[in-house]
Structure 1
Amino acid sequence: MAFSGKATVAAAVMAAAVLMLFAGEASALTCGQVDSTLAPCVGYATGREKMLSQRCCGGVRSLNSLARSTPDRKVACECLKTLARGIKSIDMGKVSGVPGKCGVSVPFPIAFSTDCAKVH
């Protein structure tokens, strides 16, 4: 019985070690954060506003700083696509140019065709 207890403890320790290894790969970013940081950009993306606002660019910079890890960038990519699909009259041409106009370099194209699984 003692051997069985040691084996159980060893298995639990190994499982915890594996979980700790993968915990660093988990995304901390949520779609709620993506949506709220980019909300000031919706007017521009739909043509209701002719100019990018300071608040929009601030949100883009904030999102860029939040999405530093590969899992976070993948989540941001998926959330951006979901957000864009839910906005009527969105101009993806305008949307794709927003990061550059705000002085932010995004490591993936902002487009419906982007494969978020391949984002690094």
Structure 2
Amino acid sequence: MKVEKMENVTILLVIFMVQFMVQPGKAIINCGEVEHALAPCISYLTQDVQPYPACCNGVRKLKGMALTATDQRSLCICLRNAAKRYSNIKEDAIQTLPYKCGIKLDFPISSTFNCQW
């Protein structure tokens, strides 16, 4: 019985420590997640079509990831680098994507934008 109580106390202590180690509101932008979120947008970015709902959901997800100025810069860099890798992406489509989805980002999406504002 005492061993069981000691295990419970240990588990609670670990949970307590983890909660203090995590900093709320501090997101970590992963460029792989950014590209995955925008994968449904490829047809819009390369052809003359409207963005699909899955594409706009991806843009909405990205907006939710960028909670701080640091997050926004990181997201901007991921987006800029992803845009540079695809030669057939239309620059005007990149820039109008948030607008077409009815989502306001705090920075433009572009393959040439300086994300170090």
Does the TM-score normalized on the shorter chain lie above 0.5?
yes
Report if aligned partners of 2:83, 2:110 keep a CA contact under 8 Å in 1: no
| Pairing of 1:92-103 with structure 2 (within 5 A) | 92-103=91-102
**Superposed structure 1 runs of 4+ greater than 4 Å apart:** 23-27
Give the count of matched residue pairs: 96
Q: Report what 1:116 is aligned to.
A: 115
Calculate percent identity across the aligned residue pairs: 32
Q: Report what 1:34 is aligned to.
A: 34
In the alignment, the residues of structure 2 paired with residue 26 and residue 68 of structure 1 have an alpha-carbon distance, to the nearest angstrom, of 8
Q: Report what 1:3 is aligned to.
A: none
Give the 3 Å change call, closer, same or farther, for CA 58–26 of structure 1 in structure 2.
Answer: closer
Q: Which amino acid is 1:51 matched to?
A: Q
In the alignment, the residues of structure 1 paired with residue 63 and residue 25 of structure 2 have an alpha-carbon distance, to the nearest angstrom, of 18
Compute the TM-score of the two structures, normalised by the length of structure 1: 0.72
Please, which runs of 5 or more residues in structure 1 have no aligned partner?
Answer: 1-19
Report if aligned partners of 2:37, 2:59 keep a CA contact under 8 Å in 1: yes
> How much does 1:27 deviate?
5.0
In the alignment, the residues of structure 2 paired with residue 78 and residue 36 of structure 1 have an alpha-carbon distance, to the nearest angstrom, of 15
Q: Report what 1:43 is aligned to.
A: 43
In the alignment, the residues of structure 2 paired with residue 84 and residue 104 of structure 1 have an alpha-carbon distance, to the nearest angstrom, of 19
> How much does 1:111 deviate?
1.9
Q: Report what 1:10 is aligned to.
A: none
Indicate the RMSD between aligned Cα atoms, in angstroms: 2.0
Q: Which amino acid is 2:40 matched to?
A: P
Q: Report what 2:72 is aligned to.
A: 73
Report if aligned partners of 1:27, 1:71 keep a CA contact under 8 Å in 2: no
Compute the TM-score of the two structures, normalised by the length of structure 2: 0.74
